[in-house]
Amino acid sequence: MPPAHLRLYYYGTTSRETFIRHCEAIRAELTTRGLQPAHRVLDIGSGIGNLPISLIGFLKGRYDGLDIHPQAVAWCQRAITANHPGFRFHLADLRSEAYNPRGRHSAATYRLPFENASFDVVLLASVFTHMMPEEIENYLCEIGRVLAPGGWCVESFFLLNDDTRRDVDAGRSFMSFAVPHPSQQARLHDAVIREAAVAVEESFVQRCCDAAGLVVRDVRRGPGAGGTTSGHDVVTLGRRADRSVPA
């Protein structure tokens, strides 16, 4: 069980039951899509380990978590890797006002520290909702590189399209998303802590996927950017069939 202050930071409560619910929910998100014990899983934005904790005893293939929040990665290494060495965690020294204000590098140019085609499943749960469009573009490109043939990726967004943009513009959404990103491809909730919450244009995500050799297999729409309550849109991506493994 992660310490209470980290549970509070991530889930807004110190409740142990809430943390356990987050573990069970994320495992179900992957197992209902066909996660197998032999799969190699990359968890980008691994946070305080809700996915790996839920997979202990199930996953035999490989697990790598990557995050930019030093305290979260340190806790996962100390508490999870020390007892389950097959579960590894990597700290990326990337800047984010919300999660790592002292980070030295930009996620817009970051290369994931993994071989081409080395993962069957990639997860970003509640991560693209805290990233700028140029960073999302780079990550999607990198996911296209590290995903193995037949692999799939699950990620959550606040998507902006004609429907959700109308609700945001009318001030009906649970967050204002009132700050336009200079690219016009996203709207931010907070002009200072820019990564606090980010809604991104669905057409932009589609173009990034096309360029990365990824295809959208499914979009499960939540309340999303325009919703009156919080809830993500969950997108499942696959690797385009005609795409060769990058050299």
Ligand X SMILES: C[S@@+](CC[C@H](N)C(=O)[O-])C[C@H]1O[C@@H](n2cnc3c(N)ncnc32)[C@H](O)[C@@H]1O
Q: Could you list the residues that contact ligand X (CB under 6 A)? A: 10, 22, 44-45, 47, 50, 66-69, 72, 92, 94, 96, 99, 107, 125-127, 130-131, 135
- Which residue, 41 or 68, is less far from ligand X as judged by CB? 68
CB 24 to ligand X: min, Å: 12
- Which residue, 51 or 165, is less far from ligand X as judged by CB? 51
The structure tokens listed for 124 are 């970003």
Classify strands 147-157 and 119-124 as parallel, antiparallel or unpaired. parallel
CB 64 to ligand X: min, Å: 12
Residue 134 near residue 142 (C-beta atoms within 8 A)? no
Which amino acid is it at 124? L
- Which residue, 198 or 214, is less far from ligand X as judged by CB? 198
Q: Is the dihedral of CA 172, 173, 178, 183 positive or negative?
A: negative
- Which residue, 21 or 166, is less far from ligand X as judged by CB? 21
CB 147 to ligand X: min, Å: 16
CA distance 224 to 220: 10
Residue 212 near residue 140 (C-beta atoms within 8 A)? yes
CB 162 to ligand X: min, Å: 27
CB 130 to ligand X: min, Å: 5
CB 153 to ligand X: min, Å: 14
Q: Of 186, 195, 193, 181, which is closest to residue 225 (Cα–Cα)?
A: 186
- Which residue, 93 or 169, is less far from ligand X as judged by CB? 93
The structure tokens listed for 41 are 């899983």
- Tell me the C-alpha to C-alpha distance, in Å, between residue 133 and each of 8, 26, 159: 28, 25, 12
**DSSP of 199-218, one letter per residue?**
EEEHHHHHHHHHHHTEEEEE
- Which residue, 96 or 173, is less far from ligand X as judged by CB? 96
